[in-house]
Structure 1
Amino acid sequence: MATTAPPSDWQGGKTLIESFDHLLTSGIASDVTFIVGEERNRISAHRLVLLSRSPVFYAMLEGPMAEKGEITIPDISSETFKLFLRYLYTDTIDLTDRNVVPVLNVARKYCVDILVSLCGEFFAKNLTVDSACVLFEQSHVFVMESLRQQCLQFILNNAPGVLRSATFTDLCLNCMTCISGSDDLKVVENGVYEAIIRWSEAECGRQNIKATAGNRRDVLGETLYNVRFLHLEEDFLLRRICSDMVLRSDDLVDIINHKKNNKPLLSEKLNAKRRSSFPWRISRIGIVKHGQWTLMPTDEGISFKSSVDLYMFGFGSFFTKVERSSVDLKVFEDDVCLVQGTKLRGKQEPDTPYMGDIILDNPIKIHAGKTYTVIERSHHTILHFFEKGITKVTHQDITIEFMNSSKSRSTTTDRGHIPYLILSY
C-alpha cells in the first residue's frame, strides 16, 4: 500500500533544531509511543533523542529494566508533555505563569537539569503580585513545597497588591485559607475581608449559585473567621460588615460587646490575635550633609499624606554630639495634636548612618488622604542635615507625599531634618 511522502523541504536549508522539530511534530521515523494523561493520548517520539537528553529515559529505554511496547504516563497532561518533548528536541520552550510549574514537575521527574534551571529563572523574574497566586496554586497542585513556600513568602510581603489581584479569586479554598489565615500577612485587616468576599463571589459563580450573603458564608465556611474582626476599623465594622450580612448577627453582637463593653468573647471562632507587622523606613533624604544646622534647637518638621491607611511607628532623627540624646516631639493630624512627648534617639543602623529611630509608645493610625505633621525639637545641636529631598516615595503600592509645614522653622521637603518615617500596615 502506497504511503504519502513527507514534504521535500523539511531538510533542505533547515537548521538542526528546525529539522528535529519537524521530526517531532510529523512523527516521521518515530520508534517510541507514550500513552499520556487521563485522556490516554498517544504521543510519538524518538528513542535516540530521549535517551540523549534524560538519564531517566535512558534507563527506561536502554537499561536492564527497559520498558517494552507503549509507555504509559498517567500523571502528566498531554499539553505539558508535548511542551517538554519539544524542549528536548529543540532547546526552546515558551514558559508562562500557567505552565511553568507543571513543566518544572516533569523536568524534575526526568532529571533534565537545564530545564529545571530555566524554570527557576522564570520564577525569579516573573514572581509578581499578578502571578504569585497562579504559581502558588500550581505549586499546591503539583506538591512542590519549596516553590510553594517561596510564593507564600512573596504573597505575605506584598499582600495589599496580591489580595486585590484578579488571580486571588482563582485560588482553591485550601490556598486561599492558607494566605488569609497567616499571622504574617502584611496588610490592614479591611483588605483581608474585602479579598475573601471577592473570592466568595467568584466561588459562587464557579458553583453556579447566586452570591447571596448565606451562600457566600457557606462557600467560605470556617475560612470567614480568618478575618481578625476584632481589629477592623470601627466604621468599617459597623457599615460594611453589617451591610454585607455575611458574618452572623450573634458574632457581630459578640464583637461589639467585647470592644465597647469589655465583655469576654463568647465565640471561640473569633480570632483576637493581631497579625504581626514589620515597619519600613520610608526615606525622603537625598544627600546627607555634615554641618551644624542651627546654633539653638528649634522646631523642625514635615507634613505628609498617604495613599492608603497605615500606622506610623516613629520617624528618623539626625544625631548630635551627645550620644543617645533626646528630642521633644509632636505629631498632628491636620491641626489636632495626637501625640506629644520626649524620646531618645535609637542607635544607627548600617542603612541609616548619622541618624537613629524615634519610636512612639503606640503606633498612630494614618488615614489615607489626611495630612499629618511630625515635629521634633532636639535637646542638643544637630550635626547633620540633608539636601535634594524626595517629595514623593512609593513603597509596594503605598505612595507617601511630603509637604512643607508652617509649624517647621527651617526644614522643608528639599532640605533639613526628619529624614524618614517608620510606617507599616
Structure 2
Amino acid sequence: MEEHGEDSQDDNSYESGDGDDKPQNRTKQKKKDHHSQGRRPSKHLQQNHELCGESSQSPGFNWQANFSTMASRLRFLLFNPLMSDVTFIVGVQKERIPAHKFILSISSSVFEAMFYSLLANRSKEIELPDVEPVAFKNLLRFIYLDQASVGPENVMTTLYTAKKYSIPNLEKHCVEFLECNLCGDNAFLLLSQARLFDESKLILNCLDVIDKKTQDSLNSDGFLEIDYDTLQYVLKRDTLRIREVRLYEAVIKWADAECARRSLDVDVDNRRQVLKNTINLIRYPLMSIEEFAAGPAQSGLLSDSQVVRLFLYYTLNPKPNTEFSDTPRCCMTGRECIISRFLEVDTRWGYNGTSDRIRFQVDRGIFLAGLGLYGSIHGSQEYDVSIQIVHTHSTNVVGFNKTKFSCDGSNQPFRVMFKEPVEIIPNTSYIAIATLKGNDSFYGTKGLKKICLQCSKGERVTFQFSYASGNNNGTSVEDGQIPEFIFYI
C-alpha cells in the first residue's frame, strides 16, 4: 500500500539523523532536528494512519511536500483524522472511521447529496449501523486509491455498500470477483444474493452454472438456504440437467430445512405449507411410474385426484392431459454428437420380447439424449420400443422412454430419444437397453470396443463397450442392435 522509492532516504534521516554525534557537530545536528519537524512521519507512522485510522502524532508543517503525487497524498489521508471533517460510526461494532467530505462527494452522488444538498447532514459524526466496517473501509479505499481488498468473506457486504453509496466501478469489481469464483457449490447462494441486489449479469451466470452442474448445485448447503421465490424461479426452468425424481427429492430437503428455520415440525402439513404451489412445478410425467409410486404418490403432498390422474397418465395410451408439465427439463445447448459403434450393416435381427443390451462407460461427463436403432428390412414399418439406461452396480434406471418409431426400410439408424437427457458420470458403468416389438430389422457387425470422438470446441470423448451379461437377445460388442449413442457435452 505504501510508496517507498523516493521517500526512503528521508525516512532514514527522520528516524536516525546524520548518525554523527561528535561535539563539534551537535549545533548543526540541533538545527537539522529543528527543520525535521516539518518533514512527514516515518513509514511506520503512515502505516498506523491507514491501518488504525488515527495517530497521536502531528504530521508536522508542510507534510504535503514529502509526497510527489496526488495519489500518495490521498493514500496518506486515507483513514487519517488529519483534515477530516466527518467521522462515520460503522456497524454494530460502532467503529469510528474518519473521512473527508469533499473526497467522498466527488466520487459518489449519494455522498454529495448527504453533505452538500439543501438537506445536507451537518453533523460531524454519522452512524451507519447497517454497514460492515470492513466493507466500508473497502469503499473508502476504492474512493481514495482506486483499490479494493475484496475476498470471499467480505465481497457480498462490499457489494451492498457499493450499491448503497452508488460506486458502480466497485460494484463491477465485486461482481467480477464473484463470477471468477462461481461454482456448483455456491451457485444457489450467489443466485439469491444476485437477485436481492438485482445484478442481472451475475444472475445469468449463476443460472448457467446451475443448468450445467444441477446435481452439484442441489447438493450444496446453499440450495437449502435459498428463499421461496428463488426456489420457485429455478423450478420453472426448462434447462436443468437432472432427472425429475432427483429434483423432487431436493425440493423435499429444502422444505424440511425451511420447516426447521420456522421452528415447525417436519410433517406433511407443514411441508405443504412451506412449499405452497411449488410442489406443482415438479414435472411428475417425466418420472417413471416406479419413481412416482415410490416417492410423490406416497408423500401426501399431492391430492388423491392428482395421484389418480398421474397413474392414468403412466398407464394409458394415448396419454391423458394432466395439470403438470411434461416438457423435458434439459434443452441442451451446443452441438449434438453421435457415435456409431459398427463398421458394417447386415440382415436380419429378430425380436421375441427379449431386450438388446450393451454395457458402456465414458471418460468424461456427458448428457445422453437418445439412442439410434435399426429399423425393418421389409420396408416402412412402425415399432413399439422401450429404451432405458441402467446404472450397472446399483441397477437403478437413470433414463427411460416408452414410445413408437417409424422407419422407411433403409439401413440407417432411427432416433429414439429419452424423456429427458440422462447425465452420464465419467468412468462409471451403465447398460443401454432397447426392447423392440416389430418385424425383423437390420443389425450391425464389426463392432468397435473403444471409440474416441472429437466433438465441437476441441472436446474429446471416449466410449468403451463391453458385453452385458444375461439375456441380451444376442447383442454384443461385435454384433447386434443399438448402433448409435446421441449425446451432448
1:205 to 260, 266, 274: 260
* Sequence identity (%): 20
User: Residue by residue, what CA displacement relative to the aligned partner does 1:364-411 show, whole Å, maximum 9, x if unpaired?
Assistant: 7869754228999789xxxxx9999559x9xxxxx986234583449x
Distance 2:170 2:442 in 1: 56
Seen in structure 2, the aligned counterparts of structure 1 residues 255 and 58 have a Cα distance that, compared at 3 Å, is: closer
Comparing 369-378 with 26-35, greater Cα deviation is found at 369-378
Match of 1:163 among 206, 218, 221: 218
- 1:127 deviates by 1.1
Number of the residue aligned with 1:324: none
Structure 1 gaps of 5+ residues are 1-8, 286-292, 317-329, 346-356, 380-384, 394-398, 411-417
* Segment drifting more, 306-315 vs 25-34: 306-315
Return the letter of the residue paired with 1:31. D
1:172 matched residue in structure 2: 227
Q: With structure 1 as the length reference, what TM-score do the two structures score?
A: 0.64
Q: State the AA in 2 paired with 1:32.
A: V
What is the CA–CA distance in structure 2 between the aligned matches of 1:170 and 1:249, rounded to whole Å?
31
Aligned to 2:31: none
Q: Per chain length, whose mean CA-contact separation is higher, i.e. which structure has more relative contact order (CA < 8 Å, sep 6+)? A: 1
Q: Conserved in 1, the CA contact under 8 Å of 2:224 and 2:254? A: yes
Distance in 2 of aligned mates of 1:120 and 1:233: 41
Give CA deviations for 1:119-167 in whole Å, capped at 9, x if unaligned. Answer: 2321221111111111111122223344333323332333222122221
Conservation of the 8 A alpha-carbon contact between 1:76 and 1:106: no
Q: CA RMSD in A?
A: 5.2
Q: What is the DSSP-based 3-state SS (H/G/I as helix, E as strand, rest coil) of the residue aligned with 2:53? A: helix
Aligned equivalents of 1:222, 1:332: Cα separation in 2: 33
1:308 and 1:45, CA in 2 relative to 1: closer, same or farther beyond 3 A? same
Closer, same or farther: CA 180–74 of 1 in aligned 2, 3 Å: farther
TM-superposed deviation, 1:241: 2.2
Matched, 1:77 2:77: no
* SS of structure 1 residue aligned to 2:418: strand
Query: In the alignment, does 2:51 pair up with 1:21?
Result: yes
- Aligned positions, number: 361
CA distance in 2, matches of 1:334, 1:216: 32
SS at match of 2:175: helix
Distance 1:309 1:140 in 2: 30
User: For 1:271, what is the secondary structure of its paired residue?
Assistant: coil
- Which structure has the greater CA radius of gyration? 2
Of 61-70 and 127-136, more deviation after overlay is shown by 61-70
Which one of the candidate residues 192, 200, 205 is aligned to 1:150?
205
Residues in 2 aligned to 1:53 and 1:387: alpha-carbon distance in whole angstroms: 70
Residues 1:227 and 2:287 are matched in the alignment:
no
Kept in 2, the 8 Å contact 1:313–1:359? The answer is no
Q: Is the 8 A contact 2:79 2:97 kept in 1?
A: no
Q: Shift of residue 190 of structure 1?
A: 0.9
Q: Is the 8 A contact 2:105 2:115 kept in 1?
A: no
Shift, 1:182, TM fit: 2.0
Q: Is the 8 A contact 1:258 1:264 kept in 2?
A: yes
Which stretches in structure 2 are left out of the alignment for 5+ residues? 1-14, 16-40, 55-77, 348-356, 374-384, 391-401, 435-440, 456-460, 468-474
Deviation of the 1:26 alpha carbon: 7.9
Query: Is 2:198 the counterpart of 1:126?
Result: no
Residues 209 and 297 of structure 1, relative CA distance in 2, 3 Å threshold? closer
Displacement, 1:208? 1.0
Q: Which residue of 2 aligns with 1:371?
A: 431
* SS of residue in 2 equivalent to 1:211: coil
Alignment of 1:94-109 (within 5 A): 94-96=150-152, 99-109=154-164
